[in-house]
Amino acid sequence: MLRLVYFPSPGRAEAIRVALSLSGSEWEDSTIDGERFQAMKEGGELPWGMVPVLQTPDGTIAESSAILRFVGRLAGLVPEDPYQCAKADEFIDGMEPLSKSLDSTFRIASVDERIRLRKEVFGPSGKGTRNLIRLEGKVTESETGWAAGTDEMSIADLKLFTGLFGLFSGNYDGIDASVISEYPGLIAYHGKVSTEPRIKSHYADVKAEDIRWTFLPGAFEGQ
Ligand SMILES: N[C@@H](CCC(=O)N[C@@H](CS)C(=O)NCC(=O)O)C(=O)O
């Protein structure tokens, strides 16, 4: 039995959740609040003091990308070809600057200041924008349309799809979904992944008002 421990939001756990669900393994989605997080941290249950973690019969695995590689194998989403596998890994590691681009804004108490800083991140010379431009280039250049140029959808696609589009759900004040309208390549990529039969079926019960609306087909059309 595998148990994923994270906050209820998609955040750094969503790609792992999708892979676990596609793997057909028995697993539990253990969602925690801040108090439980603190207790787990103080109790030494978090190897690096952070979540997500995956509790397995052999012990606890931390670091979202390591967990994604582990569960991605169970789901058949890690390419067998060593070069393609390395390219998927490269893509996952290469996405870290985007994942980190908002980190400095989380602990800002003033909402106005938080919004200002986040608008800057996705402003003309912000680091969020730099990453979106780079990612737009990557998906446009890919001969197969999959993020890392793999023959089939891979863990890199789960990471990009959830990590990128999850930022625009409205969960992060100051980040507007209309930002994505500037990136036709990313919108086309969203269409490819969101309509992939396994992904579409995974999100089949999500409603337009749910936090996960950005993973539904057509989510960014007309933004
Ligand atoms: N490199 C880590 C980063 C994990 C991370 O930043 N986790 C955040 C939640 S998204 C956390 O545990 N924050 C609580 C804290 O730092 O006290 C990973 O990818 O798993």
Q: Dihedrals φ, ψ of 174, to 5°?
A: 100, -15
Residue 194 near residue 217 (C-beta atoms within 8 A): yes
Per-residue tokens: 177: 């979904």
3-state secondary structure of 25: coil
- How many distinct helices (H) and strands (E) make up the chain? 10, 4
Beta strand residue intervals within the chain, DSSP E:
2-6, 27-31, 53-56, 59-62
Range of the domain at 56: 2-74
pLDDT in tens, the chain (223 residues): 999 999 999 999 999 999 999 999 999 999 999 999 999 999 999 999 999 999 999 999 999 999 999 999 999 999 999 999 999 999 999 999 999 999 889 889 999 999 999 999 999 999 999 999 999 999 999 999 999 999 999 999 999 999 999 999 999 999 989 999 999 999 999 999 999 999 999 999 999 999 999 999 999 987 7
Query: For position 187, which CATH number holds?
Result: 1.20.1050.10
Predicted local distance difference test score (pLDDT) of residue 223: 72
User: In angstroms, rounded to a whole number, what is the distance separating the alpha carbons of residues 194 and 178?
Assistant: 18
Ligand 1 centroid to 141 CA: how many Å? 31
Residue 175 near residue 215 (C-beta atoms within 8 A): no
Whether residue 58 sits in one domain with residue 147: no
Q: Which of 74, 102, 132 is the last residue of a domain?
A: 74
Q: Which residues line ligand 1 (CB under 6 A)?
A: 11-12, 50-52, 63-64
Among 54, 43, 59, which residue's Cα sits nearest to residue 19?
54
Best mutation site among 5, 9, 12 for ligand 1, i.e. most ligand atoms within 8 A of its Cβ? 12
Count up the domains in the chain and report the number. 2
Atom of ligand 1 nearest to the CA of 7: 9
- From atom 19 of ligand 1, which residue's Cα is the shortest distance away? 64
Q: Which of 38, 53, 74 is the last residue of a domain?
A: 74
Q: Which of 48, 74, 100 is the last residue of a domain?
A: 74
In DSSP terms, which residues pair with 60 in a beta bridge? 55
Predicted local distance difference test score (pLDDT) of residue 155: 98
